[in-house]
Amino acid sequence: MAKKTKDDIRIIRPEPLPTVELLTGRIHDHAYRPHAHEEYAIGVVEAGVQRYREPGGTYPAPAGTLYTLNPGDVHAGEAATEAGYHYRLAYVPENLLHSYLEIESGAFPSHPHFRQRLTQDPALAREFNRVLASLTDPATCRVKAESELVLTLRALFHRHGELAPKELPDAGAHAMRRVKAYIKQRAAEPLTLTEMAEQAGLSRYHFIRVFKKHTGLAPHAYLTQVRVFQAKAAIESGLTLADAALASGFADQSHMTRSFKAIFGITPGKVQKHH
């Protein structure tokens, strides 16, 4: 019997550019739970095929595909074949990409937005993959690494992005932003659906529908995601796994571990070892 290939997922902050978080993955069995990031998630499928899922459908992402996800884009995925898939990904903070594109954040009437979540541009995919690989090399000059990242991200945006006009938010959008801020502030507490609905000024049934429409996630899924991200930050700051679970609102360490792995593909302990 052939030996089963294990998943290998690593998350690092490269020494040449610690403001950007990198993920490398060799995936065979893991299926990512639907989730979203506050950063741009930009990367490349190096080999194999991923079955990429988003609220609008399911699509194949073969080798050479560029991931171009905007902040808040809900997505999930798993290997499309037994051979699995390999990929590299960079989480780029909004303010960093804005500065690279020379866009003023905040009052600017538009915001950078990639037109598609999966993009086909073989030459640019090869170049971006090379840049991401160089960022993991500690011998890489920091100035060179960031210069290449700036140039590649600008090329990617100019070919496949746009300055989407900022829409005037309706009352529902305002309410959902208020609820999301409330959840982030109080994620460590035993929040209830009633509390969330009251923050939005809606009935519980109406709140569930409106929240999912605006975020792509059910309230409980969004709360779990926030707790996972807060647990990750707590672990990276030096807290023990047990303390991180408590500080981020999980019932116990095992509950945190299950939720953490569903989103990141690795256990909290593996993140702790790299810090």
The tens digit of pLDDT for each residue in 137-154 reads 878 888 998 999 999 999
Of 120, 138, 165, the domain-final residue: 165
In a domain, 55, yes or no: yes
Q: What are phi and psi of 61, to 5 degrees?
A: -120, 90
pLDDT at 159 > cutoff 60 = yes
Query: pTM of the predicted model, to two decimals?
Result: 0.89
Same domain for 139 and 12, yes or no, is yes
Task: Check whether residue 194 and residue 147 sit in a common domain.
Answer: no
Share of the chain above pLDDT 70, in %: 93
Question: Cα separation of 194 and 207, whole Å?
Answer: 9
Contacts of 122 (CB under 8 A, 6+ apart): 64
DSSP sequence for 41-54: EEEEEEEEEEEEEE
- Under the phi-then-psi rule, with left for phi > 0, alpha for psi from -120 to 50, and beta for the rest, what region is 96? alpha
CA–CA distance, 185 with 25 (Å, rounded to integer):
31
Instruction: State the residue range of the domain holding 15.
Output: 8-165
Total count of domains within the chain: 2
pLDDT-derived band of residue 107, with 50, 70 and 90 as boundaries? very low
2 belongs to a structural domain? no
Residue-level pLDDT at 108:
45
Domain boundary (130, 148, 165) is at 165
Mean of the per-residue pLDDT values of the chain = 91
Sign of the CA dihedral with 217 first, then 220, 226, and 231 last: negative
Lowest-pLDDT choice from 11-20, 153-162, 172-181, 234-243: 11-20
Domain boundary pick from 130, 165, 200: 165
H/E run at residue 235: helix 219-236
